[in-house]
Amino acid sequence: MAAVPPPGAVRPGGRTARVREAVLQAAGDTLAEKGFSGLDLGDIARLADVGKTTVYRRWGTPGALAADLLKDMAETSLPRARNGSVAEDLRDNARLVVKTLTDPRQGRLFKALIAASLCDEEAARALHRFYAVRIEEWSGCVTDAIGRGELPSGADPRRVIAAVSAPLYYALLNTGEALDEAAADRAAAAALAAARAGAL
Amino acid sequence: MAAVPPPGAVRPGGRTARVREAVLQAAGDTLAEKGFSGLDLGDIARLADVGKTTVYRRWGTPGALAADLLKDMAETSLPRARNGSVAEDLRDNARLVVKTLTDPRQGRLFKALIAASLCDEEAARALHRFYAVRIEEWSGCVTDAIGRGELPSGADPRRVIAAVSAPLYYALLNTGEALDEAAADRAAAAALAAARAGAL
DNA sequence: GCGTTAAGGGAACTGTGGTGCCGATAAGAG
DNA sequence: CTCTTATCGGCACCACAGTTCCCTTAACGC
């Protein structure tokens, strides 16, 4: 059982890195444009101007490619808000989520990545990791609020942040309802009310 | 522009109906077992003991087949709870959702159908319709509660019901967190607190 | 630099998912 | 019951996604 290193792991620099970058770029564009079911590795190779064999060897399946894209996305982080009040911080978070999900490219990309996570176990792990990172980044807002006495000390920071996003994703995925600023503000207010009541 | 009726629409009875039933049954089984990406129309034909040509002619794509399954599912409705208190009704709803999503067959099936809705426009419409129906069925709990004075009259029944499910689906799809009875009770309590505070 | 070999890329091959064709069967109108 | 024709189903066909083979290029350890 000699551990066979996956292709690209031994000499990850130079050309290998350039290939990965070009492929992930093409994958993001294609996912945003055609969705997960339109992610064909042959197309990606042509679009990234890379050998078809290379794409099949390094990624193998659309799911694995989506998973790698998610790993890449999890590394670039956005700074959270620091308004000095939870109400405003949560509202900013909700509006950011809505802005992302309604953006023509980002919204379609996120849908496609969720689809990927539902079709591929590896992509699912990468997606969960991605959201864990994003939630962690914003949970400081809640920790600070507890410190300021704005929220009960029993409140779970990650659950509060998750509670803000949840209804927005539910609208996106399940009901298909419109995502606008009013929806964002409602989501933030609901999460805040639940947190204040000690339900989170 | 003579409207060409889709195959199966002119003589929907007898054999045609039996074929549809067998195909939808096979589609449900396959979606639950292999997910949306494993939904191959050729396999379905073999499993349902039906001509391959027939499946391709009537449904054409995995997405359209999933959409038809969703239409079928939207027709069979489950009765809502009537405990006499919103808190209990919402808790029952949350527990039902968790029970469904953690059931080995149902949980996988729902994931697969959501994946289908993210890959196919028609399946997306069918899924949104499905949830609209399910939410409508339970919104009576909230309407009744408003009548009893348990909730402010401004509360939107469908939004309250959606708020119960949202964190559970968020856990299922985005974070991958465990779905247990505690999570259900928390979701119900949070929705209730938000509704009482007038945030919904 | 140099040499080793990991990684890339071109081209030919193949299994199979999806289609077209056409005769067989039975739904539904009268 | 009879007739019309919608729908089913078997078979042959084909385009192409995914693989294999092997040569070329360039990482990176020394």
Give A130's contacts (C-beta < 8 A, 6+ positions apart): A70, A73, A74
Residue B153 has pLDDT above 50, yes or no: yes
Which nucleotides of chain D does any protein CB come within 7 A of? 6-11, 16-22, 26-28
Mean pLDDT along residues A124-132: 98
Cite the DSSP H helix spans in chain B.
14-34, 41-48, 52-58, 62-75, 86-102, 104-119, 121-148, 157-170, 181-196
Residues B112, B35 contacting (CB under 8 angstroms): yes
Q: Quick one: DSSP state of residue B180?
A: -
Mean pLDDT of chain A: 95
Q: Does A115 touch chain B (CB under 8 A)?
A: yes
- Rounded to the nearest angstrom, the minimum Cα separation between A15 and chain B is 32
Q: Shortest CA distance to A23 belongs to which of A48, A41, A6, A46? A: A48
Q: How far: A68 CA to C16 C1' (Å)? A: 28
**Tell me, what's the pLDDT at B132?**
97
**Tell me, what's the pLDDT at A1?**
47
Mean pLDDT along residues B152-164: 97
Interface contact flag, B194 A193, Cβ < 8 Å = yes
Residue of B nearest to A115 (CA): B115
**Tell me, what's the pLDDT at B71?**
96
Query: Does the CB of B40 sit below 7 A from strand C?
Result: yes
C-alpha–C-alpha distance, residues A91 and A114, integer Å: 24
Interface contact flag, A174 B125, Cβ < 8 Å = no
According to the 3-state scheme, what is the secondary structure of chain A? Answer: CCCCCCCCCCCCCHHHHHHHHHHHHHHHHHHHHHCHHHCCHHHHHHHHCCCHHHHHHHCCCHHHHHHHHHHHHHHCCCCCCCCCCHHHHHHHHHHHHHHHHHCHHHHHHHHHHHHHHHHCHHHHHHHHHHHHHHHHHHHHHHHHHHHHCCCCCCCCHHHHHHHHHHHHHHHHHHHCCCCCHHHHHHHHHHHHHHHHCCCC
Per-residue tokens: B167: 């964190």
Query: Does the CB of B15 sit below 7 A from strand C?
Result: yes
Contact residues on chain A for B118, CB-CB shorter than 8 A: 35-36, 111-112, 114-115, 118, 173
Mean pLDDT along residues B54-70: 96
Q: Does B111 touch chain A (CB under 8 A)?
A: yes
**Nearest nucleotide to B56 by CA–C1' distance?**
C18
Q: How far: B139 CA to C19 C1' (Å)? A: 47
**Tell me, what's the pLDDT at A77?**
81
Interface contact flag, B117 A173, Cβ < 8 Å = yes
Give A92's contacts (C-beta < 8 A, 6+ positions apart): A81, A83
How confident is residue A6, by pLDDT bands cut at 50, 70 and 90? confident
According to the 3-state scheme, what is the secondary structure of B65-117? Answer: HHHHHHHHHHHCCCCCCCCCCHHHHHHHHHHHHHHHHHCHHHHHHHHHHHHHH
Residue B2 has pLDDT above 60, yes or no: no
Query: Does the CB of B98 sit below 7 A from strand C?
Result: no
Which residue's CA shows the smallest distance to C1' of C18?
B56
C-alpha–C-alpha distance, residues A24 and A31, integer Å: 10
**B56 Cα distance to chain centroid:** 25
Interface contact flag, B173 A111, Cβ < 8 Å = no
Interface contact flag, A127 B174, Cβ < 8 Å = yes
Please name the residue that has the structure tokens 């465990």. B178
Mean pLDDT of chain B: 95
Contact residues on chain B for A159, CB-CB shorter than 8 A: 186
Residue A3 has pLDDT above 70, yes or no: no
Interface of A with B in 150-179 (CB under 8 A): 159, 162-163, 165-167, 169-171, 173-176
C-alpha–C-alpha distance, residues B200 and B192, integer Å: 10
- Report the share of chain A in percent with pLDDT over 70: 98
pLDDT in tens, A44-100: 999 999 999 999 999 999 999 999 999 999 998 889 999 999 999 999 999 999 999
Residues A46, A29 contacting (CB under 8 angstroms): no
Which residue's CA shows the smallest distance to C1' of C8?
A54
Per-residue tokens: B144: 């009744």
Interface contact flag, B37 A63, Cβ < 8 Å = yes
C-alpha–C-alpha distance, residues B134 and A139, integer Å: 33
Residue B3 has pLDDT above 70, yes or no: no
Mean pLDDT along residues A103-108: 97
How confident is residue B183, by pLDDT bands cut at 50, 70 and 90? very high
Give B128's contacts (C-beta < 8 A, 6+ positions apart): A174, A175, A176, B117
- Rounded to the nearest angstrom, the minimum Cα separation between A173 and chain B is 7
What's the maximum distance between 2 C-alpha atoms anywhere in chain A?
A: 58
Mean pLDDT along residues B35-59: 96
Residues B66, B27 contacting (CB under 8 angstroms): yes
